[in-house]
C-alpha cells in the first residue's frame, strides 16, 4: 500500500509520532469533516432562529435542518469547488442546496456573511478545546495537590541561581507550582466567560440584512449554539482569540517550568526526582545505560511551540477596516496548532506527575552533604546575636569562602574560629546547621495551598470517571478513522 495516497505532512497527523505532540481527541476537534459539519450546524441554527422570528417558513427551515448533514453531500465536489472558486464556504453551500431542494435552498445562508458562519463555528471549536483543557487542568491540579500533601515535610535543598541556597521542603516547591496552576484556572474561567461568542452581523457589522429584529435573531441564534451574543461584530476585533492564545501560552509555560525542574533535579549529580520509567524505555542507541528525561523535555518543546503559535494571535489584532482575512487565516493555523500542542502537553504532564519518582535517599544525602553551607543564614543570625548582623555576615562570608576554596568543612572552620569557639559550643553550632530547624513556614504554606486546591477541586474538579470524557459529540463524522495513529 502506498501510504502517500493519504499524506500526513504535519507532525500532529503523523501515524508514528503524533502521540508526542497531541492527542486523537484534540485532532478530532479540528478534523476537516467536523469543521464542514460545524459550518452546516451553524447555518442550520441560523435558519431555525430565522424561522422562530417568521423570517423563514418553518417547514423549509426544518428541511434545511434535516439536510444539513455532510454525509448527504458530495465531499469530492466540495473539494473540487474550493479549488475552482477559491472560496472556502460557497462549494459547501452549493452541495447543500442540492440536498435541500430548490424551495428550501432559497433560505440557505440568509443574511449572513461567510465570516459570520466560520467565526461562530470556530467558537464552537474553542468550547471543545476549553472543555479538554479544563478537564485536564483539574487532573493536574489534583496530582499536584496529592504531591504537595505527601511531601510537605520533606526537607530539600533550596537552590537559587543554580546553586545551593537554603533549606526548603519539596512540598513547598510543588505548592508554588500548584498555586500558579490555580491562577491559570481562574484565567481559563475568565476566557470561558469572554471568548466563546457567536458572530452574526453581516458584511460590515451593521446587521442590515438580518431582518427587522436582528438583535433578537442574534440572541436566539447564540442560545441554540450555546454561545454568548456579543455586543458588536468582531470580524476585525480579534482580542478574544489573542486572549485565549495568550492564556494557553502562559498555562503551558508554567507546565514547562514544572517539567524543566524535574529535568534539572533528575541529573545524575542530583538525582532527587525522575519522570516515570518502565523497562523497555530506551534512552540511547549507543549508551544503553541512559534514562533520559524525554517526556519532560517534550513538554518544554510543546510549550515553546504553543508560545510561537500564540504570537500569531497578537499579530491577528492588526486588521483593516470592517473586515479582512489576515487574522482569520492566521487563526486557522495558529489557533489549531496551539490547541493541539496544548492538549498534547497536558496529556504528557498528567502522566509525568502521576508516575513521578521521588528519591528521598538522594534528597537526604544531598541535604546532609550541604547542611552547613545551606545553613549560613541561620549561623549568621546566631553569631549576630553576639556581634551584630553585618559583622556576622562578614565573618560567615569569609569562613564560607575559605571552606569553598579549601574543601574543608564549614562547621570545622567555625568551631576552630576564636570568636565562635569562645562564644558557642559545638552542640549549638550543630543545632544551627540542622536544615529541618530553619525551614520557616514551608510546611504551613504548602498545607494552605493544598487546602485551597482541595476547595477548588470540590467545586470544579471531576467528581467521577464519567466526567473525565470531553463532551464532544460521539457521532460526528470524522476523517481520523485510524485511531492507532496516536
More confident call, 475 vs 120: 120
Whether the pLDDT of residue 2 is over 60: the answer is: no
Whether the pLDDT of residue 12 is over 80: the answer is: yes
pLDDT at residue 411 in the model: 81
Q: What is the mean pLDDT of residues 157-162?
A: 94
Lowest mean per-residue pLDDT among 173-187, 222-236, 307-321, 336-350: 307-321
Whether the pLDDT of residue 482 is over 50: the answer is: no
Whether the pLDDT of residue 142 is over 90: the answer is: yes
pLDDT at residue 88 in the model: 92
Residue 473: which pLDDT band, with cuts at 50, 70 and 90?
Answer: very low
Lowest mean per-residue pLDDT among 48-52, 204-208, 303-307, 328-332: 328-332
246 close to 210: Cβ distance less than 8 angstroms = no
Q: What is the mean pLDDT of residues 76-94?
A: 94
| pLDDT tens, residue by residue, 249-272 | 999 999 999 999 999 999 999 999
477 close to 28: Cβ distance less than 8 angstroms = no
Read off the pTM: 0.90
The Cα-based distances of 388 to 232, 276, 330, 425 in angstroms read: 66, 49, 62, 19
Hey, what long-range contacts does 209-215 have (CB within 8 A, 24 or more apart)? 209/111, 210/111, 210/112, 211/50, 211/53, 211/55, 211/111, 213/53
| pLDDT tens, residue by residue, 267-291 | 999 999 998 877 667 666 677 776 8
What values do phi and psi take at 357, rounded to 5?
Answer: -100, 120
Tell me the CATH number of domain 116-151+163-197+234-365+452-473, given options 3.40.50.720, 3.40.1010.10, 3.40.309.10, 1.20.200.10: 1.20.200.10
Whether the pLDDT of residue 28 is over 50: the answer is: yes
Binning the chain into helix, strand and coil, the percentages to the nearest 5 are 65, 5, 30
| pLDDT tens, residue by residue, 454-465 | 999 999 876 655
Using CA atoms, how far apart are residues 452 and 175, in angstroms rounded to an integer?
A: 10
106 close to 7: Cβ distance less than 8 angstroms = no
Whether the pLDDT of residue 337 is over 90: the answer is: yes
The set of cell numbers assigned to 390 is 553585618
Using CA atoms, how far apart are residues 76 and 413, in angstroms rounded to an integer?
A: 83
The third-level CATH classification (topology) of the domain covering 23-112+203-229 is: Fumarase C; Chain B, domain 1 (1.10.275)
Whether the pLDDT of residue 475 is over 60: the answer is: no
With the CA atoms of 200, 203, 206 and 211 taken in that order, what torsion angle do they form, in degrees rounded to the nearest 10? -60
For the chain, domain boundaries: 23-112+203-229, 116-151+163-197+234-365+452-473, 372-433
Whether the pLDDT of residue 124 is over 80: the answer is: yes
Residue 478: which pLDDT band, with cuts at 50, 70 and 90?
Answer: low
Lowest mean per-residue pLDDT among 116-130, 313-327, 463-477: 463-477
- With residue 354 as reference, give the H or E element that holds it: helix 326-354
More confident call, 102 vs 466: 102
Averaged pLDDT of the chain: 89
Enzyme catalytic residues: 161, 284
Amino acid at each position: 500500500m502506498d501510504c502517500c495516497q493519504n499524506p500526513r505532512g504535519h507532525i500532529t497527523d503523523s501515524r508514528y509520532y503524533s502521540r508526542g505532540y497531541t492527542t486523537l481527541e484534540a485532532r478530532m476537534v479540528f478534523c476537516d469533516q467536523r469543521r464542514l459539519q460545524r459550518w452546516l450546524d451553524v447555518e442550520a441554527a441560523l435558519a431555525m432562529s430565522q424561522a422562530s422570528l417568521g423570517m423563514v417558513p418553518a417547514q423549509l427551515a426544518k428541511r434545511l435542518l434535516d439536510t444539513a448533514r455532510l454525509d448527504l453531500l458530495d465531499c469530492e465536489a466540495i473539494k473540487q469547488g474550493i479549488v475552482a472558486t477559491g472560496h472556502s464556504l460557497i462549494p459547501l453551500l452549493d452541495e447543500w442546496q442540492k440536498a435541500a431542494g430548490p424551495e428550501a435552498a432559497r433560505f440557505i445562508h440568509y443574511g449572513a456573511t461567510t465570516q459570520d458562519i466560520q467565526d461562530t463555528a470556530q467558537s464552537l471549536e474553542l468550547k471543545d478545546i476549553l472543555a479538554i483543557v479544563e478537564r485536564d487542568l483539574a487532573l493536574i491540579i489534583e496530582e499536584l495537590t496529592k504531591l504537595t500533601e505527601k511531601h510537605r515535610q520533606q526537607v530539600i535543598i533550596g537552590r537559587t541561581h543554580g546553586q545551593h541556597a537554603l533549606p526548603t521542603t519539596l512540598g513547598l516547591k510543588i505548592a508554588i507550582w500548584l498555586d500558579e496552576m490555580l491562577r491559570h484556572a481562574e484565567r481559563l474561567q475568565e476566557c470561558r466567560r469572554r471568548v466563546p461568542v457567536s458572530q452574526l452581523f453581516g458584511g460590515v457589522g451593521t446587521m442590515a440584512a438580518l431582518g427587522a429584529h436582528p438583535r433578537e435573531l442574534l440572541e436566539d441564534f447564540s442560545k441554540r449554539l450555546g454561545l454568548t451574543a456579543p455586543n458588536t461584530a468582531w470580524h476585525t476585533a480579534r482580542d478574544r482569540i489573542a486572549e485565549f492564545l495568550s492564556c494557553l501560552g502562559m498555562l503551558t509555560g508554567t507546565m514547562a517550568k514544572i517539567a524543566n525542574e524535574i529535568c534539572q533535579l533528575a541529573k545524575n549529580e542530583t538525582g532527587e526526582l525522575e519522570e516515570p520509567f518502565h523497562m523497555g524505555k530506551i534512552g540511547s542507541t549507543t549508551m544503553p545505560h541512559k534514562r533520559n528525561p524525554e517526556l519532560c523535555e517534550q513538554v518544554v518543546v510543546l510549550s515553546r511551540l504553543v508560545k510561537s503559535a500564540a504570537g500569531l494571535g497578537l499579530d491577528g489584532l492588526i486588521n483593516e477596516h470592517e473586515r479582512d482575512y489576515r487574522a482569520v487565516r492566521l487563526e486557522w493555523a495558529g489557533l489549531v496548532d496551539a490547541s493541539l500542542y496544548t492538549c498534547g502537553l497536558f496529556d504528557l504532564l498528567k502522566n509525568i506527575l502521576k508516575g513521578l519518582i521521588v528519591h528521598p535517599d538522594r534528597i537526604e544525602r544531598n541535604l546532609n552533604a550541604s547542611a552547613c553551607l545551606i545553613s549560613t543564614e541561620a549561623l549568621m543570625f546566631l553569631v549576630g546575636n553576639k556581634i551584630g548582623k553585618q559583622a556576622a555576615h562578614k565573618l560567615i562570608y569569609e569562613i564560607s569562602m575559605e571552606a569553598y576554596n579549601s574543601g574543608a568543612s564549614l562547621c570545622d572552620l567555625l568551631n576552630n574560629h576564636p570568636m565562635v569557639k569562645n562564644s558557642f559550643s559545638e552542640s549549638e553550632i550543630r543545632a544551627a546547621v540542622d536544615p529541618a530547624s530553619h525551614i520557616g513556614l514551608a510546611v504551613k504554606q504548602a498545607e494552605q495551598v493544598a487546602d485551597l486546591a482541595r476547595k477548588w477541586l470540590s467545586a470544579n474538579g471531576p467528581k467521577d470517571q464519567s466526567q473525565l470524557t470531553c463532551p464532544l459529540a460521539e457521532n460526528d463524522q470524522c476523517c481520523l478513522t485510524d485511531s492507532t495513529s496516536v
